[in-house]
C-alpha cells in the first residue's frame, strides 16, 4: 500500500478503483491484461473478503441463480463463451443438475459466477499486478491534480486516476413503511444483507414490497428455508419479471435507422417489431434483445427530456422484459401461485401500522377506490438499490458532490459522465482523472445494468485509462 508519506514513483500511474464487485474487478482485469499491462499500479478497494463478487454474486444461497444464461455472461466481451468453457473445465456445476435447461442453456448459482470472476483475477492478485485493499473508501480529495484516497483503516493512497465502481447503494425503503415499522423485528428493509430473512418464522404471513428479481429471490429463499405461510408480493403495477424465450432466437428488428426522436416513437417501433416477429413465428424476446444490443446508440440519439420520459413511464415495463427470471426461480414462484400460497398484487400501500407484533397494511388495488386492510407478520422491502440517491448514500461521495466533482445524471439513473466514462462536473467540464464504471454510468449509456453491457463498459473504462498511460 502506498501511503501519503511514501510517494509512488512518478513514472508509474496509480489507478484506484473503488468497489471490487464485478465492474471494479473487470476494469482491473482488462487494465492488467491489456496492451498497457504493467504500466499502472492498480489498487482495488473492496471491503468484501474477495473481489469480483460484489452485491450480486457474493451469495451462498443456492436458490440465487444468474438470470442470464452462462453463455452470455463473460468477463471478456470478445469471448462470450469464456464463462461457459470455465464451467466445463472446472466442473463447477457438476453437483447442480438443476442448472441445466432442456435447450442446453445453463443457469448456475450466482456464487459460481463470482468464483469465475475471482478465478480470473487470482493470477493477477498473486503476482501483484492488481492489489486488493480490503477496506471501504471513506474519503477522496483532489490535491495538486492527484487523488488522496483514504480508507476505513486510516490509510491514504495517492492516485492519478480514481474509478468509481461502487454501483449499488443500499435500498431506501418507502418512508411510510419506515415511519410505521422501524424497529419491528420482522420489518426487513434490506433483504440483500446477510441472514436478513432469518427472523421470519415458518408460518408468518409475509408482505413482499416489490415484484422484481429481488422479490423473486426473497420468495425462493423463504421457500428453501421451509417457509409455509402465505406470501403477498405487491407493486404498483403488479408486473412480474418475464421468463426467458421458449427457444433460442437471434436479435430481431432495427431501431437505429432512422433514429427515434422520442420515447413514444421508440415504443411504437418496438410494438411494431414485436408484431412482425410474431408473424415470423418468433416471440417478443429477440426484439427486446435487439433494443438492448442497440441500446446505447438509441439512448445517445434521444434528447434528455425523452430519456427522462422513458425512465418515468416505460422503465417498469422495460425492466420486467429485459431482466428475465431464471427458469428455476420462475418455477418456484409459479408453483406457489398455483398452490394459492403466493398472491401477486397491483396495488399501492396507503397506510401501515403495528402493535409491535402483527402488521396492518392498508392497500388500494390499481384502478380501484376501495381501501382494504391486510394483516401480516413480516414485511420485506425489495424495491432495490436507490441509484438516484447514490451521492447521499456514502459520505465521501456526498463530499465529492459538494466539492463540485460529481453530480447526478439528469435522468436520475446514476452519475453524470461522458462517453469515455469521465465524470462530468456540475459546471459541464469532464474530469479525465475521475471515471464512472458500470451501472452508475447508466444515465449516459442507457441500458447498463446486466450482461453483456456491464462487461463491455468495464472494457471501455480500462481502454479509456490505458489511453492515458
Ligand atoms: C442481487 C443482484 C443480482 C444480479 N444478477 C445478475 C445476473 O444474474 N445477471 C446479470 O447480467 N446481472 C445481474 N445483476 C446486475 C448487476 O448489476 C451486474 O451484473 C453487476 O454485478 C454489477 O456489479 P458492480 O460491481 O457494478 O456492482 P456491485 O455488485 O454493487 O459491486 C459494487 C461493490 O462496491 C463495493 N463498495 C461500495 N462502496 C464502497 C466503498 N466506499 N469503498 C470500497 N468498496 C465499496 C461494494 O462492497 C460492492 O462489492 C444483478 C444485480 C443484483 C443486485
Q: What tens digit of pLDDT does each residue of 59-78 get?
A: 999 999 999 999 999 999 99
Q: pLDDT at position 1, please?
A: 52
Take atom 19 of ligand 1 and give the residue whose Cα is closest: 450
The yes-or-no verdict on residue 104 having pLDDT over 90 is no
Instruction: Report the first-to-last Cα separation within the chain, whole angstroms.
Output: 20
Tell me what percent of the residues of the chain surpass a pLDDT of 90: 89
Pair 382, 218: CB distance under 8 Å: yes
Q: Is the pLDDT of residue 5 over 50?
A: no
Distances (CA, A) of 341 to 63, 212, 227: 19, 18, 10
Average pLDDT of span 414-440: 96
**Ligand 1 cavity residues, CB under 6 Å:** 18-24, 45-48, 54-56, 66-68, 73, 136-137, 165-168, 394, 438-439, 449-451, 454
| Pocket-testing residue among 25, 48, 54, ligand 1, by greatest number of atoms within 8 A of Cβ | 54
Nearest protein CA to atom 27 of ligand 1, as residue: 167
Query: What per-residue confidence (pLDDT) applies to 248?
Result: 86
Query: What residue owns the CA closest to ligand 1's atom 10?
Result: 450
356 CA distance to ligand 1 middle (Å): 34
pLDDT(7) > 80: no
Q: Which of 19, 52, 107, 456 to mutate to test the pocket of ligand 1 (most atoms within 8 A of CB)?
A: 19
Distance 463 CA to ligand 1 centre (A): 21
Mean pLDDT of the chain: 94
Q: For residues 56 and 443, give the distance between their C-alpha atoms in angstroms, rounded to a whole number.
A: 21
Testing ligand 1's pocket by substitution, the residue of 72, 151, 168 carrying the most ligand atoms inside 8 A of its CB is 168
Q: 56 alpha carbon to ligand 1 midpoint, in Å?
A: 5
- pLDDT for residue 8 is more than 70: no
Residue 67 CA: nearest ligand 1 atom is: 8
The verdict on whether omega for the bond into residue 452 sits within 30 degrees of 0, i.e. cis, is: yes
- Ligand 1 center to residue 21 CA distance, Å? 5
pLDDT 10s digits, 295-331: 999 999 999 999 999 999 998 899 999 899 999 999 9
The model's confidence at residue 396, banded by pLDDT at 50, 70 and 90, is very high
Write the residue with the smallest CA distance to atom 15 of ligand 1: 450
Given a cut of 90, whether residue 85 has pLDDT beyond it is: yes
User: Is the pLDDT score of 6 beyond 80?
Assistant: no
pLDDT reported for residue 246: 87
Q: What is the mean pLDDT of residues 1-26?
A: 78
pLDDT at 10 (0 to 100): 55
For residue 13, what pLDDT is reported? 95
* Residue with grid cell 422495460, as numbered in its chain: 318
Which protein residue has the closest C-alpha to ligand 1 atom 18?
A: 450
Amino acid at each position: 500500500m502506498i501511503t501519503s508519506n511514501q510517494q509512488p514513483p512518478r513514472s508509474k500511474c496509480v489507478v484506484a478503483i473503488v468497489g471490487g464487485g464485478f465492474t471494479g474487478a473487470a476494469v482491473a482485469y482488462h487494465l492488467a491484461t491489456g496492451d498497457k499491462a504493467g504500466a499502472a499500479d492498480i489498487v482495488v478497494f473492496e471491503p468484501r473478503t474477495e473481489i469480483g463478487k460484489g452485491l450480486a454474486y457474493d451469495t451462498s444461497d443456492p436458490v440465487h441463480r444468474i438470470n442470464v444464461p452462462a453463455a452470455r455472461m463473460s468477463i471478456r466481451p470478445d469471448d462470450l463463451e469464456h464463462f461457459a468453457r470455465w464451467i466445463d473445465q472446472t466442473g463447477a456445476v457438476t453437483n447442480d443438475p438443476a442448472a441445466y435447461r432442456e435447450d442446453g442453456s445453463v443457469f448456475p448459482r450466482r456464487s459460481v459466477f463470482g468464483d469465475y470472476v475471482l478465478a480470473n483475477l487470482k493470477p493477477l492478485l498473486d503476482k501483484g499486478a492488481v492489489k486488493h485493499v480490503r477496506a471501504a473508501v471513506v474519503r477522496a480529495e483532489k490535491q495538486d491534480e492527484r487523488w488522496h484516497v483514504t480508507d476505513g483503516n486510516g490509510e491514504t493512497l495517492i492516485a492519478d486516476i480514481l474509478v468509481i465502481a461502487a454501483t449499488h447503494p443500499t435500498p431506501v425503503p418507502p418512508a411510510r413503511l419506515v415511519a410505521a415499522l422501524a424497529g419491528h423485528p420482522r420489518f426487513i428493509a434490506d433483504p440483500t444483507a446477510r441472514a436478513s430473512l432469518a427472523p421470519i418464522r415458518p408460518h408468518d404471513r409475509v408482505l413482499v414490497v416489490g415484484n422484481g428479481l429481488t422479490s423473486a429471490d426473497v420468495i425462493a429463499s423463504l421457500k428453501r428455508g421451509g417457509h409455509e405461510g402465505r406470501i403477498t408480493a405487491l407493486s404498483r403495477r403488479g408486473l412480474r419479471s418475464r421468463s426467458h424465450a421458449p427457444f433460442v432466437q437471434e436479435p430481431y428488428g432495427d431501431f437505429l435507422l432512422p433514429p427515434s426522436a422520442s420515447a413514444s416513437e421508440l415504443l411504437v417501433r418496438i410494438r411494431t417489431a414485436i408484431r412482425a416477429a410474431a408473424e415470423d413465428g418468433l416471440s417478443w424476446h429477440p426484439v427486446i434483445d435487439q433494443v438492448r444490443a442497440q441500446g446505447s446508440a438509441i439512448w445517445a440519439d434521444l434528447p434528455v427530456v425523452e430519456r427522462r420520459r422513458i425512465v418515468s413511464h416505460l422503465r417498469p415495463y422495460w425492466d420486467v422484459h429485459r431482466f428475465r427470471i431464471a427458469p428455476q426461480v420462475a418455477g418456484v414462484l409459479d408453483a406457489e401461485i398455483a398452490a394459492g400460497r403466493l398472491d401477486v398484487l397491483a396495488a399501492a400501500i396507503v397506510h401501515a401500522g403495528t402493535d409491535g407484533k402483527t402488521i396492518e397494511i392498508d392497500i388500494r388495488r390499481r384502478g380501484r377506490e376501495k381501501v382494504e386492510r391486510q394483516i401480516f407478520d413480516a414485511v420485506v422491502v425489495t424495491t432495490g438499490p436507490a441509484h438516484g440517491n447514490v451521492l447521499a448514500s456514502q459520505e465521501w461521495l456526498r463530499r465529492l458532490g459538494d466539492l463540485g466533482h460529481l453530480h447526478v445524471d439528469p435522468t436520475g439513473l446514476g452519475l453524470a459522465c461522458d462517453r469515455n466514462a469521465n465524470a462530468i462536473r456540475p459546471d459541464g467540464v469532464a474530469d479525465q482523472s475521475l471515471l464512472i464504471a458500470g451501472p452508475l454510468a447508466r444515465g449516459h449509456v442507457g441500458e447498463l445494468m446486466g450482461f453483456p453491457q456491464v462487461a463491455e463498459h468495464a472494457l471501455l473504462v480500462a481502454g479509456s485509462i490505458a489511453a492515458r498511460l
